[in-house]
Structure 1
């Protein structure tokens, strides 16, 4: 399997955090279509069917690490507590 680029991993982490393509694009300073293109490339490389499948496969293959998941979960837990 071809390794994911830094940007593809960054987009996947944002998807795992619950960002829409538009929100991720705004955050990264790129168009929504650019995010969608990155995701389409990721789907193809991982053999994923959709966003959640891509995140699951990224975790399985180590593209998203457990510390990154913990950070993502921590952000959501802190937001819910506030």
Structure 2
């Protein structure tokens, strides 16, 4: 049995919990990355999200996001 990896004391004082459902292989990827890096899974997820933040464009989406798939606004007639 392996020892659970923990952050350094006090480094997550203001963090909040992010609860989401993902496919098992995505969870496994985060846990593999964390184990390989010698960090906790929450710290690995924090690094992934920080990397995503560096790729954000002016429209609030990362550069690789398919903008063609965005829902379009419904056409609303102007009031007379």
TM-score range for the pair, normalised by the shorter chain length: 0.3 to 0.5
Bigger helix fraction: 1
Question: RCO greater where, 1 or 2, for CA within 8 Å and sep 6 or more?
Answer: 1
Higher CA-based Rg: 2
TM-score normalised by structure 1 residue count? 0.34
